[in-house]
Amino acid sequence: MLEPGVAVDLSFNETGAGEPLVILHGLFGSKRNWSSIAAKLGVHHRVLTVDLRNHGESPWAARHDYPALADDVARLIRTEIGGPAIVMGHSMGGKAAMMLALTVPELVARLVVVDIAPARSGGSSLDFLHALQAVPLAVFTRRAEVETALAGAISNPAIRSFLLQNLITAPGGLSWGVNLDALEQHFADILGFPDIPLGHAFAGPALFIAGGRSEYVLPQHRAEIGRLFPAATIEVIEDAGHWVHAEAPGPFIEILGRFLEK
């Protein structure tokens, strides 16, 4: 595990050609979650889908807060792109994208934030983390056994399936491909968002896409969005929840396409 304060080299997949677009997943997610969206966007863009630190194939690190995540993405953009990119993030990845835009705006040509606000988040994500920690992986050998063990704590099969994408099967046994200890230690940081001083904002083009059935972007968040991102527009897909891009990919791509074509 890397020392705190050290930017990590993030794992990513790449598709398409054109203006670069970097996609950041949410908590317990990975670059694989965005493969189908990336394929569509790759018609006009060079798309990099990224594993954030402590997730997927990227390195584990003791620190997990938004300044650290933003530093990692800045390093990726400088190394792999060499100039500004469109940056899109969902949930935790959306907060990382916002932090990047606020701290290193010269690297962000356009900002897209998917169903998250620059504010403290609620939800039951900590319960999901504890459910994963409670699974006795050492006594299991099959994915089905792990799913059964999770069913008692997580009744929604779609959420179980999403979380099980982090299960790694290897000759040495089962393991989680996400750094649960680091995420638990920094969970308050993940739910929160750094205090941004008055007068500090990202002036570039920004789009917030929210799910109408989600509670992560609410009317009371609009003032703070406007303060930090004065050029932002907010679009709501009424029939979608928190995973907007997966639940309503058609409307999501349509809204995103209009923004990117401006």
**What amino acid positions are annotated as catalytic residues?**
91, 181, 242
Among 84, 72, 77, 114, which Cα is nearest to 206's? 114
Whole-angstrom Cα distance, residue 112 to residue 88?
A: 4
CA distances from 115 to 124, 185, 190 (A): 16, 24, 15
Among 227, 238, 249, which Cα is nearest to 90's? 249
Whole-angstrom Cα distance, residue 11 to residue 21?
A: 15
Collapsed DSSP state (helix, strand, coil) of residue 178: coil
CA distances from 28 to 90, 95, 183, 190 (A): 11, 14, 10, 12
CB 118 within 8 A of CB 225: yes
Residue 45 one-letter amino acid: H
DSSP class of residue 81 equals I
Whole-angstrom Cα distance, residue 125 to residue 33?
A: 17
**CA angle (184, 190, 195) in 5-degree steps:** 135
Strands 167-170 and 173-176, bridge-based pairing: antiparallel
